[in-house]
Structure formats: C-alpha cells, structure tokens
Amino acid sequence: MFPLFIPTGSTSAQPKGMKNMPKSKFELIYKDLKRKIEDQQYPYQELLPSENTMVTIYNCSRNTIRRAVSQLIEQGYVQSLHGKGVRVIYQPVDQTSFTIGGIESFKESATRNHRKYHTEVVQFTIITSDQRISGKTGFPVGEELYYIQRIRYLEDKALILDINMFLKNCVPGLTREIAETSIYEYIENELNMSIVTSKRRMTVERATEIDEKYLELNDYNCLAVISSQTYNADGIMFEYTQSRHRPDYFCFQDTATRKH
C-alpha cells in the first residue's frame, strides 16, 4: 500500500533535457539547507544557524540567506521565531509513500520513485470549445482543443484516468504517440515552451461509468478528482486537465501559514 503523494507549491522538478543548474545563489543555499534538513544534519525541532552565521558560512548577504530560508518556510520545512531563530519542523514521510509533485508529470513522478508505469491512450480527438466546455475549463469559446483520455498504470494497476484538453495552436503537432509517452516532455523539449503556474482544485466525485470501466475501484463509488488549469511562460492558459484518481492510492500534501 503506497498512496500517491501530491505536495503543494513549487516543485524542484526539471525537464529531462535540461541540466540541473540552479544558476542563482539563493537557490544553491536553499537546496543545501533543504538537503541538510532532510538528512537530519539539522534535526527536527533544532534551530538553524543564525542569519549572520550563515552569511559567513555561505559568503553572501543577509538578504540572500533570508530568501533561501523563506522558501524553506513556504515548503513547511522550518518556522521562524522572531527574536529566537528558525526552527526545523520537517519530518520525513514514511518509506512506502509515492510522491506526485506540483506540476510534475506522471512519468516524472513514477521515474523519481523507481516504479514501473505505462500509459494507455483511450481517446485522442480534436474538439471545438463551446459554451459548456468554456464554462467548465476556462478556455474561450470557439477555440480548437486536443481532447485526450488516458489511463495511467503504476505497477500494472490502473490508478488514474486523465482527461486533458490542450489549446491546439499552443501545442501544434501533438500526436497519439506523444500522448502515450509524455506530453510534458514534448511541450518542454520539442516546443521549448516552459510551464509555469498551475491552479488546481481537489474534489471528491461520484464514479461515472467511464471511471468504473477503466479503473479498478473495488466498490469505492467515488474518486479523488484534481482539476487544473496550467499557464505557460506567456501567461496563457493552454491546458485544462482533470485527473480522476482511485481513492486508495491518492494523497495530497500541503503547508499553510497563518498571518498574524
């Protein structure tokens, strides 16, 4: 039993073609601190070195340290205590967990967790956005869209039914073959388009006949549904996706902060 983990916020996922170059200083420091926290060199409930200490350690300005730390705060790794220091609140998740990340693709997630997977394309057509589709997805009326239905298998178990819609003129040349491997890889490497922001909504919906046809639901009568709108680097929403997850293999993680 290894549920699918879906953490929130920014992911460190990188397109396959790119080298893993963090370029910026604050990102290097962020990754170093993150790793040290995960390795428990900075253990749970301990304080990080003070900002001024880290300034000398990393040979940079205090602002750069603060920027790196603020990312750790966002991710729920640490919590800052005014006048006291920055406390580690990260705790490792259990081994059997399988993590699906931010805007990470199914393929990337499966690979990262060393799991066998494959994808079956059950529908691949082109449709035109009408009033009903527009209201549901957020695409303008009259746009041509790729409409794709895929079953995602992990260790030969059908876990996810993906319904994708892509703006046709943003993703030209998409084929059924590409949909079988990785659409994101095609978009980022072939089309050289970068994906930036994704707005997601999680609900629980009653299983439809299609769900029951393709997924083994084991008399669950509902599914975890993630609907997402994805924007490219030009700020254009080019994708709407509905991922319908088998409930027993689904988990979504999140960190919230309260303003005082």
Alpha carbons 89 and 75: distance in angstroms, whole number: 10
Do the Cβ atoms of 244 and 161 come closer than 8 Å?
yes
Q: According to the binding rule CB under 7 A, does residue 53 interact with DNA?
A: yes
Query: Residues with Cβ < 8 Å from 106, sequence gap 6 or more?
Result: 100, 117, 119, 152, 160, 162
Query: What is the nearest approach in angstroms of DNA to the Cβ of residue 27?
Result: 7
b/e per residue 38-70 (b: at least 16 CB within 10 A) = eeeebeeeeebbeeeebbeebebeeebbebbbe
- The interface region with DNA, picked from 49-57, 97-105, 137-145, 162-170 by CB under 7 A, is 49-57
Residues 154-193 that bind a copy of itself (CB under 8 A): none
Return the number of the residue (42 or 240) whose C-beta is nearest DNA: 42
Q: According to the binding rule CB under 7 A, does residue 89 interact with DNA?
A: no
Query: What is the nearest approach in angstroms of a copy of itself to the Cβ of residue 242?
Result: 14
Q: According to the binding rule CB under 8 A, does residue 251 interact with a copy of itself?
A: yes
- The interface region with DNA, picked from 38-46, 78-86, 113-121, 209-217 by CB under 7 A, is 78-86
Query: What is the nearest approach in angstroms of DNA to the Cβ of residue 81?
Result: 6
Q: Helix 25-38 vs helix 62-74: angle between axes, to the nearest 10 degrees? A: 50
Alpha carbons 63 and 61: distance in angstroms, whole number: 5
Residues 3-32 that bind DNA (CB under 7 A): 24-27
Applying CB under 7 A, which residues contact DNA?
A: 24-27, 48, 50-53, 59-64, 66-67, 80-86
